[in-house]
Chain A
C-alpha cells in the first residue's frame, strides 16, 4: 500500500496532494496539462524533493521531511515510465531492459534469464538487438514498460504512456495496457490528461486541478457525481456548486458563483454540487408558463452540432448561471435559434442530481 502526503511549491501554485494506492487497484491520476501530475510522479520517484511530505510504500518510509530520511531515486523500488519513454539511445533493446538489473548487481545467468523473460513477455525477442532510434512508437513503449517492470518495483509510475503514440497505435495498444494494469502485482499510478483514458483504465480515479486533488473515488461515483469542472466538461454536464439559502416545499434555493437555482432538498446545510444534464434543459422564445422553477433568460453564445451526425445541437447560453442545453436540430429550426438570439432556458428542480 502506498500512502503519500506531498507539498511542493511550483511556479503557478502549490502542489498539495494526499494519495493512497492499494495493491491490485491502480490509481488513475487525471488532470489538465500543467495541473501537477508529472510533479507528483517525480516526487514519488525521488527525482524531485518535496518541500514537505511523507511517502510510505508497503510499510517502508521512502521520504519523511519531518524525521529526516529521504531515499534517493536509486534506492527506491520504483518503476518509472516517462511520457517519451527515455530509452537509452546508445544501448540495444536488451541492454535497455538489462540496465536496472545490472545496476542492482545482477550478473550472468540470472540476468540473462530475467531479461529474456521480460523481452518475451512484451514481444520484444526479435527486437533485442535493435537500438531505440530504430523502433516504432508502440515498440518503444513496450521496451519502456519491460525495462521498468523487470526490476520488480514496488511502485510503478506511468506518465501518459499512450501520449507519444499516434491514434492508430494508441487504439491497438490500449487493450494491452489495460490487461497489464489488471494483472500487475505492484502498486500502480497511471497519469493521463484524458478523462476518456481515465474512465477506461481506472477503477479508482483522482482528479488533480492546479495542484490539488478535487475528487478521488470509484469510476462510477465520478461518472455520476462529478465534482470538478474538468470532469463535468468531459461528461458534458452543467456543474454548479453552491450554498443553501432558502427552503420551500421540499426544495432549496442554491446560491452559486453566478446566480441561484432551485433544486430538490438534499437535507443538511453543507455546500452541495448540482449536475444538470443538457438534455434536461428546455429552450423557449417567449417566457414559459410556470411549472419549471428554474427559468433563466440569456443570449445564445454558440451553437455546436453534436457528433456523429449533428442531429442534436449543443447550445451555449450566457445566462446566470451559464447553461449548456442540448436540443434537436429540428428544434433549432422551429425556434429560429441563432447566435445572439435571446431565449428562455428552463429545467425542472427534480431533473437534476444534487450531491455533496
Chain B
C-alpha cells in the first residue's frame, strides 16, 4: 500500500511529463535554436564542471581519506556545506565573492576578468554545488581500500604516487564513478546558484533548467520538450554509470609468459 503511494508520487509526474507532448512534436521542437542552445550549454558546462570537480576533488578526497590533521572535521564540514545550503544562498555567496564588487571579484576586475553573468560563472556555480558529492564519494572509496594492500604495496618498493595510481585508484574506481555520476547529475540540474550568480542569458548562461523555468511562463510545450530532454539525459546517465561498476574491473593484464 505504502509502496503504491510512493510509486505514484515518483512515477506519475514523470509519466505526465512524457505523455504531455506527442513524440513527433517533440522531435520537431528539438530542432529549434533556443532549445538546442540550452542543450549545448548545459552539456558543455555540466561536463566541464564535473571534470573540474574530479581534478580538484581527487587530491582533497585522497588527503581526507589518508591523513589526519588538526581541524580536519572543520574542513570536512566546510566541504559538505554546499550540499545542505539552499542553492540561491550559494549563488549569493558566489556573487559576494566573485561579483564585480566582491571579495575576489575586485582583484579579478583589475586583471580584466569579469565572472558574473558569463558561461564561466555557470561552471563555477555548478562546481560549487557538485564537487562535494564527488569528494564525499571518492573519499569514502579511498578510505574503503584495505590498508593491508597499501602496506603490501609499500613493502614491494612502491612510492606513494605509485600506490595511488596502481592500487588506490583502481580499487576505488566504482566509488569514483558513482561520485562522478552524482556530480554530473547535480551540475546538470543546477538552477538556483546559476540564476543568482550567472543570470539567465540565452546562449551564455541559460542552461536547460533555467530555460525550462522561463519557457513555463510563455510556452508550455517548449518547457515540456526541454524537461523531457533533461529527463532522458539524466536517466541515460544514471543507467550508464550504474552499469559500469558492476562490469568486470578491466585493468592492464600481465605481460607475462603465456
Q: Does A290 reach chain B (CB closer than 8 Å)?
A: no
Question: Closest Cβ of chain B: how far from A236's Cβ, in Å?
Answer: 36
CA distance A88 to B165 in the complex (A): 13
Interface string of A63-102 (1 = CB under 8 A from B): 0000000001111101110101011111111110111100
Q: Does A142 reach chain B (CB closer than 8 Å)?
A: no
CA distance A45 to B152 in the complex (A): 10
Interface string of B148-178 (1 = CB under 8 A from A): 1101111111110010001100110000000
Determine if A99 and B155 form an interchain contact, defined as CB atoms under 8 angstroms apart: no
Interface segment, A22-30, A111-119, A278-286, A294-302?
A111-119
Given contacts A88-B149, A95-B254, are A100 and B171 in contact (CB under 8 A)? no
CA distance A87 to B153 in the complex (A): 9
CA distance A89 to B258 in the complex (A): 20
CA distance A97 to B152 in the complex (A): 12
12 residue pairs from A and B, CB less than 8 Å apart? A74-B155, A82-B152, A84-B148, A86-B148, A87-B152, A92-B256, A98-B256, A99-B166, A103-B156, A112-B257, A119-B257, A148-B155
Task: List A residues at the B interface (Cβ < 8 Å).
Answer: 42, 45-47, 72-76, 78-80, 82, 84, 86-95, 97-100, 103-104, 111-112, 115-116, 119, 125, 128-129, 147-148, 151
Identify A88's interface contact among B162, B167, B255, CB under 8 A: B167
Q: Does B107 reach chain A (CB closer than 8 Å)?
A: no
Task: List B residues at the A interface (Cβ < 8 Å).
Answer: 146, 148-149, 151-159, 162, 166-167, 170-171, 249, 251-258
Chain B residues with CB below 8 A from A99, complex form = 153, 156, 158, 166
- Among B154, B156, B249, max chain A CB count under 10 A is at B156
Chain A residues with CB below 8 A from B157, complex form = 74-75, 100, 103-104, 151
- Among B152, B158, B167, max chain A CB count under 10 A is at B152
Determine if B251 and A86 form an interchain contact, defined as CB atoms under 8 angstroms apart: no
Identify B171's interface contact among A87, A89, A125, CB under 8 A: A89
CA distance A128 to B153 in the complex (A): 19
Given contacts A74-B159, A151-B156, are A128 and B151 in contact (CB under 8 A)? no
Question: 3 shortest A-B CB distances, which residue pairs?
Answer: A94-B254, A94-B256, A100-B156
Identify B152's interface contact among A72, A88, A115, CB under 8 A: A88
Chain A residues with CB below 8 A from B167, complex form = 88
Given contacts A74-B154, A82-B148, are A92 and B159 in contact (CB under 8 A)? no
Determine if B256 and A116 form an interchain contact, defined as CB atoms under 8 angstroms apart: yes
Identify A86's interface contact among B149, B170, B252, CB under 8 A: B149
Determine if B171 and A112 form an interchain contact, defined as CB atoms under 8 angstroms apart: no
With A99-B158, A103-B159 given, name 6 new contacts (CB 8 A): A72-B154, A89-B149, A90-B171, A92-B253, A119-B257, A128-B254
Determine if A95 and B253 form an interchain contact, defined as CB atoms under 8 angstroms apart: yes
Chain B residues with CB below 8 A from A104, complex form = 157
Determine if A45 and B249 form an interchain contact, defined as CB atoms under 8 angstroms apart: no
Determine if A82 and B151 form an interchain contact, defined as CB atoms under 8 angstroms apart: yes
Chain B residues with CB below 8 A from A95, complex form = 252-254, 256
Chain B residues with CB below 8 A from A148, complex form = 155-156
Chain B residues with CB below 8 A from A147, complex form = 156
Question: Closest Cβ of chain A: how far from B171's Cβ, in Å?
Answer: 6
Chain B residues with CB below 8 A from A74, complex form = 154-155, 157-159
Determine if B156 and A115 form an interchain contact, defined as CB atoms under 8 angstroms apart: no
Nearest B residue to A124, CB-CB: B256
